[in-house]
Structure 1
């Protein structure tokens, strides 16, 4: 069996790494990795590859920058040539980025079977491009691997044949389980001059939160309020940094006492920071899952989440608007010890990739 696994954005590395190892452990199975270059930073890509014990990708598509439509067209054209050369049995796509749908479409057009990992997740928010990518990829996929009960419910409601669907757990948690101990040995906190439970970790990048001056003004007000109680560690996403600069707000952010602005972190460094935070504030999907497993309080600034198990069972709470007054009240509750009790969802046990590899081999 020959499998091509697709990575396009940094979270994809954490999901593909355990899958690549699981495929190689199966008899008569070849696993290759295609990096579309959708989000590409040479330094960070090398860090993720090294920290996750991955080989260099077998193919790098070097997708051209541009709108999602322009990137998708470029990826599809370049990936078509890869499929023609490799002739795989399966194309495996993870998550919901542009690369996910682009490569799934090309595979389907060439008659190559598609496996979708993290299938069935739905936010119910059609304004999110990721929602469209999820739905279309699930319609294309020949086999769908689900991380939580809501995924099973959504696919059943959408009429996807139950024979295609497999509840396997969460490959993102596979990487966390494997590398958590290694991350704890890093001296990240020492280098930053902070102590466990004495800081709040913030990472925000979605357009609804950071693409307008009004949204960024609210963010600065929130950070200023939190910094009165705890040190704030803020690894700045390139999109967020660019918008802060564009609106002339970067100097004001830098001037807030108690705020440490960081460059984007490697996987192990960020895992270490999450594991020791008193609170994580985010708008990311994967961080909702990781904090749930780590039992770290998480506030997610979004109207909805495609990962409702992190709210229903986990430590995640949604705040549907970045209103500083409301958010600061919730932050104060958590920092005062009134935290939500969470539990690890079913099958988030570090073994999801093995289940997926065995199922694909049997097919």
Structure 2
């Protein structure tokens, strides 16, 4: 019998599910892994499964990409018959992608328990599809595992019963600490040792790359940064396409800017570990740079991960060139923020989840650490 059906769908999910599947095997908890196929790049998905040692999915829905509404609907339609066949005791979802919400909704409507890992994070920006996914998934979840204590306050404010909320730490950091020694050295990814300090850049959010004026400002800022340090830019296909559409490609050809294709997890880990700074609009990278002690500039006006600012290495600048360049100057002159490791970002979050779930499945009412 399947006790827990675990769901992944897009790249951010893979780093979160890897330590969970490993911890479940050690408990043991009878778990199956379902991949919705939401991620647009099958080759990249395969690479991440291999690099992180994730078991091959037992089920792949292969839904592919589409608009948010169509993709969510397609996942729900494909997931329902799987639940009818598997009849798991609970469905576990991670993060905030469309697969997370779609599978949580189907399970809840079929009276199957829902477990949400990385619950309670809030940016306060309902224009972000991920924020909508987070809020709705938490509302239908029976167990909510949080990465930072501020998440509990968010959930309580939204009417979630306190006994459903459990602070366990950050499974993304479990993966980072497990694989840090295996990180691919930057010089191997780049083909040669960097000749000077460098920044790593990732940009993919619609608010940054779909608006030609905002994207132009960000690319012009990267060109300015490239005068003082190399800019290593694993470019998202969406970003590259939009830049070409609006005749911004020449900015990407500025000396000092080096474009790379999307990288595997171990390659990105190596690049970030040796970087002078990271400039991003990714949620997960805000967490990873805090764990690595590398200054991070987040080109968003909000973040759902406030602990990376209050305790970590993250600075929120928005997509505003003057603010970004001031932060870069601070990093170059004084080293920038270093921060400290947040509570329970110790590589044991998945172990805590598995221990709690084993007792919960056995009918106990387990206590979590204070």
The TM-score range, normalised by the shorter chain, is: over 0.9
Greater alpha carbon shift after TM alignment, 10-19 vs 149-158: 149-158
Following superposition, the deviation at residue 341 of structure 1 comes to 3.2
Q: Is the 8 A contact 1:5 1:31 kept in 2?
A: yes
Distance 1:197 1:334 in 2: 15
Which residue in 2 is equivalent to 1:346? 343
Following superposition, the deviation at residue 213 of structure 1 comes to 1.2
Greater alpha carbon shift after TM alignment, 81-90 vs 190-199: 190-199
What does the per-residue CA deviation read over 1:211-246, in whole Å, with 9 as the maximum and x for residues that have no partner? 021112112211111100001000001211121121
Coordinate RMSD, CA, aligned: 1.3
1:317 aligns with 2:318: no
Give TM-score, length-normalised by structure 2.
Answer: 0.94
Greater alpha carbon shift after TM alignment, 347-356 vs 194-203: 194-203
Which residue in 2 is equivalent to 1:205? 204
Q: Is the 8 A contact 1:64 1:74 kept in 2?
A: no
Distance 1:104 1:85 in 2: 17
Which residue in 2 is equivalent to 1:106? 106
What does the per-residue CA deviation read over 1:8-67, in whole Å, with 9 as the maximum and x for residues that have no partner? 11010000000001111113x212111111113121111100000112211111114321
Q: Secondary structure at the match of 2:297?
A: strand
Which residue in 2 is equivalent to 1:329? 326
Which residue in 2 is equivalent to 1:278? 276
Distance 1:181 1:34 in 2: 28
Distance 1:341 1:71 in 2: 39
Flag the 1:197–1:180 CA change in 2: closer, same or farther, 3 A: farther
What does the per-residue CA deviation read over 1:120-170, in whole Å, with 9 as the maximum and x for residues that have no partner? 000011111111111100000000000001101111111211110100000
Q: How does 1:184-333 map to 2 (within 5 A)?
A: 186-192=184-190, 193-195=192-194, 198-250=197-249, 252-320=250-318, 322-333=319-330
Q: Is the 8 A contact 2:299 2:320 kept in 1?
A: no
Distance 1:102 1:299 in 2: 32
Following superposition, the deviation at residue 190 of structure 1 comes to 3.7
Following superposition, the deviation at residue 191 of structure 1 comes to 4.3
Q: Is the 8 A contact 1:122 1:305 kept in 2?
A: yes
Distance 1:2 1:154 in 2: 29
Which residue in 1 is equivalent to 2:85? 85
Distance 2:65 2:323 in 1: 37
Structure 1, gaps ≥5 residues long:
none
What does the per-residue CA deviation read over 1:241-267, in whole Å, with 9 as the maximum and x for residues that have no partner? 1211211222x0342001110000000
What does the per-residue CA deviation read over 1:180-211, in whole Å, with 9 as the maximum and x for residues that have no partner? 0111xx34424413439710000011111110
Distance 1:158 1:212 in 2: 32
Equivalent pairs, count? 358
What does the per-residue CA deviation read over 1:46-90, in whole Å, with 9 as the maximum and x for residues that have no partner? 110000011221111111432111001100010011111111111
Which residue in 2 is equivalent to 1:8? 9
Q: Is the 8 A contact 1:91 1:104 kept in 2?
A: yes
Distance 1:357 1:72 in 2: 28
Q: Is the 8 A contact 1:121 1:154 kept in 2?
A: yes
Q: Secondary structure at the match of 1:336?
A: helix
What does the per-residue CA deviation read over 1:310-333, in whole Å, with 9 as the maximum and x for residues that have no partner? 00000000012x222331122111
Structure 2, gaps ≥5 residues long:
361-370
Give TM-score, length-normalised by structure 1.
Answer: 0.96
Q: Secondary structure at the match of 2:32?
A: strand
